[in-house]
């Protein structure tokens, strides 16, 4: 097949979510938005099939490199995903892309590499703070299908975004209400992890807990809960959002104290975007800063919501551009 793209002039990027995979090309560090295509994971046996179909659609492009962002832990060049039975490792990805250089990142790492390279219009401030140095540490906090974070460190020569699995740390307990929720989650899962509450399915779990406490246990999907917030016809949904946002603020504040992101905290993910309209109403900033004698210190951390659906692809392009041979 003759490609309409010159050989080794472009790189292949993929962002694998729980339901869909986005694939695109980049030219150097620049994502080419017009090439982005979305594929439903359930229709493919593996990532190699997705990449092959994309390359065919693009006329058989010969890629210099490939970088994949995955919603799951990455270790020693291999990735694990909770909801997908796909084999994802650098060798398989390189072969599928017919590329000499291959990399796999956690999706929050990719978001971290994208910071500073996104259109300003896609960053929406939700908590203001004094201006900070451009090279200060930043922190990405992801709330979507799961929960995770990634600190972003800038040095004189490069950016470093280490991986984490913050969704599996304990939920904070400060009140009787917190303890009761943790016990409810622990009875179901054996361990009250952060993403068992601060995620899409976590939002649903908090709703079930709130309705159970009120004596009328019932379930709603995350989408139904957010729709009820718009129509304002469900007090259980409102109480659910209050608790969810308070815990999100508390956990984000804990992570901020670990990483000291004077360059800003950036919330990403579908759930983060969905609840962002209610952060002020339910006192997210107060929960973030509620650290006793360190409360004033916490005012140094601004918070923004990333509203760019292609941010992980942009991060993959940035990362790949720095590891490709000159």
Q: What is the domain range of residue 137? A: 120-307
| Residue 4: band (very low, low, confident or very high) from pLDDT cuts 50, 70, 90 | low
Provide the phi-psi class of 207: left if phi over 0, else alpha when psi is between -120 and 50, else beta: alpha
243 vs 241: CA distance, rounded Å: 5
Report the domain count for the chain.
Answer: 2
Q: Are residues 144 and 288 located together in one domain of the fold? A: yes
For position 149, which CATH number holds?
3.40.367.20
Q: Are residues 128 and 219 located together in one domain of the fold? A: yes
**Kind plus residue range of the DSSP H or E element containing 183:** helix 176-189
Q: Residue 4 falls within a domain, yes or no?
A: no
| Residue 72: band (very low, low, confident or very high) from pLDDT cuts 50, 70, 90 | confident
* Cβ atoms of 319 and 113 closer than 8 Å: yes
Q: Residue 274 falls within a domain, yes or no?
A: yes
Q: Are residues 145 and 221 located together in one domain of the fold? A: yes
CA 42, 192, 275, 237 torsion-angle sign: positive
Q: Are residues 298 and 223 located together in one domain of the fold? A: yes
| Residue 35: band (very low, low, confident or very high) from pLDDT cuts 50, 70, 90 | very high
Q: Residue 5 falls within a domain, yes or no?
A: no
Q: Are residues 145 and 80 located together in one domain of the fold? A: no
Q: Are residues 34 and 167 located together in one domain of the fold? A: no
Q: Is the confidence at residue 189, as pLDDT, over 90?
A: no
Q: Are residues 143 and 291 located together in one domain of the fold? A: yes
Q: Are residues 240 and 152 located together in one domain of the fold? A: yes
Q: Residue 1 falls within a domain, yes or no?
A: no
pLDDT, tens digit (0-9, with 9 covering 90-100), for 229-287: 999 999 999 999 999 999 999 999 999 999 999 999 999 999 999 999 999 999 999 99
pLDDT, tens digit (0-9, with 9 covering 90-100), for 102-115: 999 999 999 999 99
Dihedral (C-alpha) 52, 54, 57, 58: value to the nearest 10 degrees?
Answer: -100
φ, ψ of residue 298 in degrees (nearest 5): -70, -15
Q: Residue 173 falls within a domain, yes or no?
A: yes
pLDDT, tens digit (0-9, with 9 covering 90-100), for 131-151: 777 789 999 999 998 999 999
């Amino acid at each position: 097949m003759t490609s309409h793209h010159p050989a080794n002039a472009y790189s292949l990027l993929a962002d694998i979510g729980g339901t869909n995979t986005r694939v695109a090309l980049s030219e150097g560090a620049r994502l080419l938005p017009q090439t982005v295509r979305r594929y439903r994971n359930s229709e493919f046996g593996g990532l190699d099939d997705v990449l092959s179909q994309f390359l065919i659609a693009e006329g058989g492009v010969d890629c210099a490199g490939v970088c994949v962002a995955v919603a799951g832990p990455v270790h020693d060049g291999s990735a694990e995903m909770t909801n997908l039975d796909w084999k994802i490792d650098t060798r398989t990805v390189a072969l599928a892309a017919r590329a000499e250089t291959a990399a796999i990142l956690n999706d929050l790492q990719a978001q971290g590499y994208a910071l500073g390279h996104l259109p300003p219009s896609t960053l929406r401030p939700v908590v203001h703070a004094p201006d900070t140095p451009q090279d200060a540490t930043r922190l990405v906090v992801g709330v979507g299908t799961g929960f995770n974070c990634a600190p972003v460190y800038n040095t004189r020569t490069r950016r470093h975004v280490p991986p984490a699995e913050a969704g599996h740390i304990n939920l904070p307990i400060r009140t009787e209400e917190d303890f009761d929720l943790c016990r409810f989650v622990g009875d179901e899962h054996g361990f009250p992890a952060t993403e068992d509450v601060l995620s899409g399915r976590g939002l649903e779990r908090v709703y079930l807990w709130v309705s159970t406490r009120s004596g009328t246990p019932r379930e709603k999907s995350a989408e139904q809960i957010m729709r009820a917030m718009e129509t304002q016809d469900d007090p259980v949904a409102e109480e659910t959002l209050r608790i969810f946002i308070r815990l999100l603020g508390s956990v984000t504040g804990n992570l901020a104290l670990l990483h000291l992101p004077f360059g800003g905290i950036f919330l990403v993910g579908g759930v983060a975007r969905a609840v962002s309209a209610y952060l002020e109403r339910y006192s997210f900033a107060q929960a973030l800063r509620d650290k006793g004698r360190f409360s004033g210190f916490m005012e140094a951390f601004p918070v923004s919501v990333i509203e760019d659906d292609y941010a992980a692809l942009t991060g993959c392009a940035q990362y790949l551009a720095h590891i490709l041979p000159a």
